[in-house]
Amino acid sequence: MTELLQKVRVIDPVSEIDELFDVLIADGFIKEVASHIADIHPDTQIRDCQGLVLGPGLVDLYSHSGEPGFEERETLLSLLKSAAAGGFTRVSILPDTSPAIDNPALVAQLQQKRKRAEDNLSPLLPCSPAPLLHIWGAITLDVAGKQMTELADLASAGVVGFTDGKPFENLALVRRVLEYLQPLGKPVAFWPSDRQLTANGVMREGVDALRFGLPPIPASAETTAIAAMLELVAAIGTPVHIMRVSTSRSVELIASAKAAGLPITASTTWMHLLLDTKAVKSYHTSLHLDPPLGNASDVAALRAGVRTGVIDAIAIDHTPYSYEEKVQAFAEAPPGAIGLELALPLLWQYLVETEEFTALQLWRALSVSPAECLGQKVSAILPHQPAELTLFDPQQIWKVERKSLYTLSQNTPWLGQQMKGHVVQTWC
C-alpha cells in the first residue's frame, strides 16, 4: 500500500528537522519527502495530517514482560500491542521472567512467539509488522547472584545486551562481568542501588516522607552505588549503561564521569521526569516505584540532564501487575507501573507544550538515544530509508480505562483520567 501524509509536522532528531512536509510511504520505505508532492499513483491513500506529528519510531530501553511465568500480568502479544499503540517500534524486555532469560533456548522461544504474534497483531492495530522485540540476557543464574550465565552463548543467541534488572550487590562479580564482556561487544546495564541503605524504605527521604509517614530511602542508596560502578568502569574500561537514575546528585556524578571520558550512558524513567514526592500524597500504589519518585530538585535535575544529554535516554520500564497484586497498602504493594501507552502523550503535554523541552529534545530521548544505548541506529526521515515511524496527534482526547488499553494490567495513577495526545499509527 502507498500512503501520502500531507502537511505533517516532521520531527527528525537524526537530521535535526522540525518542519511541515508531505511524506510518501510505500512498500515499507519512505519514497519521497517534500514541501508538496503532487505526482502520485491513483491508488495512493491520501491522509490530511495537519496538526499531526511524524517522527522516528520510539525505542524502549527496558520493560517487563509477564510471559513466561506471569501471563496474568502481561503476555508477549499484549506487550507488543501496547508498545505499538504507544508509538514504540522497538521494545526491549528484561530477563526477570519465570524462568529467567538465562539460556539460549528461552531466547529462541521468545523470538518465535514474537513472530507468531505478528499474525495476531496486524489486524488489531494500525501497525505492521509487529514491533521489534529485543531481549536482555540475564547476567547471573542464581537468586543470590553469585554465578554468571554463559554470556558468550547468550550473545550468540541474539540477546541485545546483558542485565539482571535488579541492584547488584557483589562488586567482585561485577568486575568479572565487565572483564568477560569486553570482547563480546554487547551493552551491559546495571541498576545501582545499595539495598542495605534502601532497607525497608518506599519513598525518597525528605519532608514529604515524614509528612506521609512512609519509610524513607536516602539518595545515597543510589549515589554510593553509582560511585562504585564508575570506579569499576574507570578501572576496567568496559562501556556500561546506568539504569533508573533518579537523584540530582546522580546526575552530577554521571556528568563528571562523562567529562572525564568514561564510557557510560544513562537513562531515567518517564515517570521520574513527570512526578515528584508530593504525588505520593494520594497513596496510590502505582506511585510506589523503585527507585522512588524524587524530590522536586531531583525532577528538575533529571529534566536538565535529559535536555543536555547527560542522561542519554528516557526508558519506560513498563511494569505490569494484576489488580489483586496492587490492591494493598502502599508499602506492601509491589513497585512499578505501566507506561508504554501513556508515556508519549504525558511527556509531550507536560514537557513540550509547556516549552520546557523542544519536540526534538523529547523525541531524541525516546528514539535515537535509546537506540544508541543499545548499539543501534535510527534512520532519518529521508527518501529510500525504512519506514520505521510514529504518527502522533498531540491534541486528541481520550480516556485511560480498561477498554482503551492494550496492556492486560491497569496499574497507573492516570487510570480513569482524560488524556491529551494519542498515537495514530506506527510503521514498524
Residue 226 grid cell: 553509582
C-alpha cell at 41: 499513483
What are residue 225's phi and psi, to 5 degrees?
Answer: -70, -35
Q: State the Cα–Cα distance between residues 375 and 184, nearest whole angstrom.
A: 12
Strands (E), 57-181: 58-63, 88-93, 127-128, 132-137, 161-162
Q: From residue 117, how far is each of 67, 74, 111, 284 by CA, in Å?
A: 13, 14, 10, 33
Alpha carbon distance 60, 315 (integer Å): 6
SS3 5: strand
Cell matching residue 154: 547468550
Q: Give yes or no: 208 in active site.
A: no
Beta carbons of 167 and 195 less than 8 angstroms apart: yes
As a whole number of angstroms, the longest Cα–Cα distance in the chain is: 67
CA–CA gap between residue 278 and residue 275 (Å, rounded) = 8
Using a 10 angstrom Cβ sphere, with 0-12 exposed, 13-18 middle and 19 or more buried, the burial of residue 56 is buried
The rounded Cα 196 to chain-centroid distance in angstroms is: 27
In angstroms, the CA 9 to CA 22 distance is 9
How many whole angstroms separate alpha carbon 405 and alpha carbon 288?
21
Distances (CA, A) of 263 to 68, 91, 231, 414: 34, 24, 12, 37
Distance CA 55, CA 387 (A): 10
Name the active-site residue from 60, 194, 276, 317: 317
Catalytically active residues, by annotation: 317
